[in-house]
C-alpha cells in the first residue's frame, strides 16, 4: 500500500499551470497543492492569482509563485519562459489556458457567419500557438527533471466531435469554430510532442466534456441525455484525471488523449 500511495506524492515537484485563475485552473491548483506540489501559477488576472496563491500557501504550506502573463503576446510568453529558466526547475507543465465558448470576445460566441477572423486568430494564438511555444522552449528544462518531465495539454471533446447544435437551441450559448479547431490541434500536437520528447518527457492530453456551471437548464437536460452517465462533469472529475496523468501512476503512458466525458459520443 505504501508504494502505491507514494506514486501520488508531488512533494518537491514544481508544476507550471496556465489559466490558473479560471474554474478548472483553480481546481487543478488546489488538488496539486493538496498533494504537495509547488506551483507556478500563470494567468492574465493578477488579483485572482494573488488571492489563489495566498489561499494555497496558507492551506498547504507549499511554495507558490505567480506570473501575470498575457499568453496572446509572444514577448510576454518569452518573459514567462525566461522566468522558468531563472528559477531553474520545472517538472510538469499543464497547458490549461484557453478561450472557451463563453468567452467575452467580439466575433466569437456568435452565429458562424458572424465569427470574426480576429477572434479566430486570437483563439488560435492562445489555445494552440502559446502551447507550442511554451512546450518547445521549456522542453530542455523538463528533460532535466529528476522525476521525469511531464506535459499535460487540456483539449476538449470538441477536438474530436462536431457540435450538436440542438443542444444550444433557445440559449445564448455557442460553440465557435476556432474552439474545436484549436482543440483538435492540441490533440495532434500532443502526439507530435510525445514522439519527439520521449523518453525524457511524457506528453498527454485530457479532453473534458461539458462541465456543469449552472448553464441554461434546457442545455443541461439535453446534454446529460447524450452522456452514458447521465450528468455533466465537475471540475474535480477533470482534476482526478489530471492527477493520474501527472503522477507516477501513469509513468508508462504517453501520447494519449484521455476523454473525461461520461461516455459522450459512444451511443
Q: Which of 128, 95, 122 is nearest to 206 (CA)?
A: 95
Give the pLDDT score at 1.
Answer: 44
Does 2-259 carry CATH code 3.30.565.10? Answer: no
Q: What is the pLDDT of residue 245?
A: 98
Contact of 14 with 91, CB cutoff 8 Å: yes
CA distance 222 to 227: 9
CA Rg value for the chain: 18
Q: Provide the residue-wise pLDDT of the chain in tens; the chain has 267 residues.
A: 458 888 888 999 999 999 999 999 999 999 999 999 999 999 998 999 999 999 999 999 999 999 999 999 999 999 999 999 999 999 999 999 998 866 788 999 899 999 999 999 999 999 999 999 999 999 999 999 999 999 999 999 999 999 999 999 999 888 999 999 999 999 999 999 999 999 999 999 999 999 999 999 999 999 999 999 999 999 999 999 999 999 999 999 999 999 999 999 897
**CB 99, CB 127: distance < 8 Å:** yes
Burial class (CB in 10 A: 0-12, 13-18, 19+), 159: buried
Q: Give residue limits of the domains in the chain.
A: 2-259
Q: In whole angstroms, what separates CA 4 from the centre of its chain?
A: 26
pLDDT for the residue numbered 42 = 98
Helix (H) or strand (E) holding 59: helix 46-60
pTM: 0.96
The helix-helix angle for 177-197 and 117-124 (nearest 10°) equals 30
- Cα pseudo-dihedral 190, 213, 236, 238, rounded to 10: -20
Q: Which pLDDT value is given to residue 101?
A: 65
Cell of 264: 459522450
Q: What is the pLDDT of residue 243?
A: 98
| CA–CA separation, 15 and 142 (whole Å) | 10
Burial readout 115-132 (b: 16 or more C-beta within 10 A, e: otherwise)? beeebbebbbbbbbbbbe
Amino acid at each position: 500500500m505504501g508504494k502505491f500511495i507514494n506514486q501520488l506524492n508531488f512533494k518537491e515537484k514544481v508544476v507550471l499551470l496556465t489559466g490558473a485563475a479560471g474554474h478548472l485552473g483553480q481546481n487543478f491548483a488546489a488538488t496539486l497543492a493538496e498533494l504537495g506540489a509547488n506551483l507556478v501559477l500563470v494567468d492574465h488576472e493578477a488579483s485572482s492569482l494573488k488571492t489563489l496563491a495566498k489561499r494555497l500557501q496558507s492551506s498547504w504550506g507549499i511554495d507558490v509563485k505567480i506570473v501575470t502573463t498575457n499568453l496572446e503576446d509572444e514577448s510576454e510568453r518569452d518573459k514567462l519562459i525566461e522566468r522558468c529558466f531563472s528559477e531553474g526547475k520545472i517538472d510538469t507543465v499543464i497547458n490549461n489556458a484557453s478561450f472557451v465558448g463563453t468567452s467575452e470576445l467580439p466575433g466569437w460566441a456568435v452565429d458562424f457567419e458572424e465569427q470574426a477572423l480576429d477572434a479566430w486568430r486570437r483563439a488560435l494564438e492562445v489555445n494552440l500557438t502559446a502551447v507550442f511555444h511554451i512546450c518547445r522552449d521549456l522542453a530542455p528544462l523538463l528533460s532535466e527533471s529528476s522525476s521525469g518531465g511531464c506535459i499535460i495539454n487540456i483539449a476538449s471533446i470538441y477536438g474530436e466531435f462536431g457540435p450538436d447544435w440542438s443542444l444550444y437551441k433557445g440559449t445564448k450559448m455557442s460553440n465557435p469554430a476556432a474552439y474545436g479547431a484549436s482543440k483538435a490541434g492540441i490533440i495532434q500536437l500532443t502526439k507530435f510532442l510525445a514522439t519527439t520528447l520521449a523518453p525524457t518527457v511524457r506528453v498527454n492530453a485530457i479532453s473534458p466534456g461539458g462541465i456543469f456551471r449552472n448553464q441554461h437548464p434546457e442545455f443541461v437536460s439535453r446534454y446529460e441525455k447524450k452522456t452514458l452517465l447521465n450528468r455533466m462533469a465537475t471540475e474535480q472529475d477533470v482534476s482526478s484525471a489530471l492527477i493520474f496523468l501527472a503522477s507516477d501512476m501513469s509513468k508508462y503512458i504517453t501520447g494519449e488523449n484521455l476523454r473525461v466525458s461520461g461516455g459522450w459520443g459512444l451511443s
